[in-house]
Amino acid sequence: MTDPAVREPMAFRSEYKFFLRDIPVEITLRLYKPIHSSSIIVRKSHHLSIAGVNEQAPASAEEQTEEGEALQDAICQFVHGYNAAIAKGLKPDPSWLQQDPKFS
């Protein structure tokens, strides 16, 4: 894993799946730990996109090194946008979730 030919080596740590209330689309979060770093990387199956709503809370400025904190930050981004849309009187819709084409 130290050869220059190997790019961005990571260890898979865990996977979590959940739904936002009243939206029948499963969201998957995968946590990875880069081999040469203490940070945690979260890859998301979907991104929240709601017209007229600031859909995601700002990502934490500091690098996450704990799985629980990284997972909580990722989930909070979805919940914040969802709750903001509901507060504006919008009805939950599957179109709010845009699949990430890079997630496989």
What is the domain range of residue 51? 10-99
Residue 18, domain member (yes or no): yes
Tell me the per-residue pLDDT of 32-74, one tens digit each, with 9 for 90 and over. Answer: 999 989 999 999 999 999 988 875 555 555 678 899 999 999 9
Residue 19, domain member (yes or no): yes
Residue 3, domain member (yes or no): no
- Do the Cβ atoms of 54 and 84 come closer than 8 Å? yes
Count of residues making up the chain: 104
Residue 60, domain member (yes or no): yes
Residue 57, domain member (yes or no): yes
Cα 38 off chain centre by: 19
The total domain count for the chain is: 1
Tell me the per-residue pLDDT of 66-99, one tens digit each, with 9 for 90 and over. Answer: 999 999 999 999 999 999 999 999 999 999 999 9
